[in-house]
Amino acid sequence: GAGVSQSPRYKVAKRGQDVALRCDPISGHVSLFWYQQALGQGPEFLTYFQNEAQLDKSGLPSDRFFAERPEGSVSTLKIQRTQQEDSAVYLCASSLAYRTKLYEQYFGPGTRLTVT
Amino acid sequence: ELKVEQNPLFLSMQEGKNYTIYCNYSTTSDRLYWYRQDPGKSLESLFVLLSNGAVKQEGRLMASLDTKARLSTLHITAAVHDLSATYFCAVDQISNFGNEKLTFGTGTRLTIIP
């Protein structure tokens, strides 16, 4: 079956440009997460959606980062006025349910963003 | 703030040898995950450990959880080249907003040498 997909897989942006990264979660998954993985590091939580509601955005590093999931399925992570420190792999994950014992996150392939 | 530490960060092993990767975490949690990541690829779930004393095995990998010690181990038996990858542990916690979120360790880059 189809897993989590992300596009584009690679993005090069000049400093100051805006970028938009797309995530298609597994169909029917209620929960959607965004993580940022810097080179040589573990992923770090950015934000969480339950359906279309953004319940937790505590991990967003600055107000240049914005995420949305308007219809409760596809999500977009937007970064405005990109800076070099934004260079990282952005991972999207989805899970079937909210706060259940069977909870497990399934990760997409990631978008590698390079800001020059 | 939850902190998750793995050691070693880098590990070179000869094929056929055994070794253990350690994952320590700083606050109470009852769920711990182990993931594998190949270069340029996403995260592949290996194990989900849900309770104190949990032990799970898949092939040459075995993971265990001691919630009292806040320690999980990933044991590799008779390593083969295919196991070369970066391994992450991740601890699950409930945020102040009511959702789960994962806090990852820094990863252990494992290289199996023929």
- Residue-level pLDDT at B1: 83
Mutation target for B interface from A9, A24, A107, A111: give the one with most B CBs within 10 A.
A107
User: Are the beta carbons of A42 and B97 separated by less than 8 Å?
Assistant: no
Nearest CA of chain B to the CA of A108: how many Å? 6
B42/A108 Cβ within 8 A: yes
Q: What is the pLDDT of residue B65?
A: 94
Q: Which residue of B has its CA nearest to A112?
A: B40
Mean pLDDT, residues B32-52 taken together? 91
Strand, helix or coil for residue A85: helix
Q: State percent of chain A over pLDDT 90.
A: 87
Rg, Å, chain B Cα set: 14
Locate tokens 């450990």: which residue?
A: B49
CA distances from B111 to A3, A38, A62, A113, B8 (A): 28, 21, 36, 26, 12
Contact: B50, A101; criterion CB under 8 Å: yes
pLDDT confidence of residue A100: 57
Burial pattern A28-57, b for ≥16 Cβ within 10 A else e, equals: ebebbbbbbbeeeebbbbbbbbbeeebbbe
CB B111 within 8 A of CB B8: no
Distance CA B29, CA B48 (A): 13
Tens of pLDDT, residues A42-64: 999 999 999 999 999 999 999 99
Of B50, B100, B107, nearest to A42 by CB-CB distance is: B107
Does B7 lie at the interface with A, CB-CB under 8 angstroms?
Answer: no
Minimal C-alpha gap between B79 and chain A (Å): 23
Distance from CA of B31 to the nearest CA of A (A): 9
User: How far is residue A89's CA from residue A9's CA, in Å, rounded to a whole number?
Assistant: 9
Backbone angles phi and psi of B12, in degrees to 5: -110, 125
Q: Which position has the higher pLDDT, A7 or B98?
A: A7
Nearest beta carbon to residue A43 from set B48, B94, B104: B104
Query: Would an 8 Å CB–CB cutoff place B39 in contact with chain A?
Result: no
Beta bridge partners of A93: A33, A107
pLDDT band at B6 (very low <50, low <70, confident <90, very high): very high
- Phi and psi at residue B102, in whole multiples of 5°? -100, 135
Residue A105 near chain B (CB below 8 Å): yes
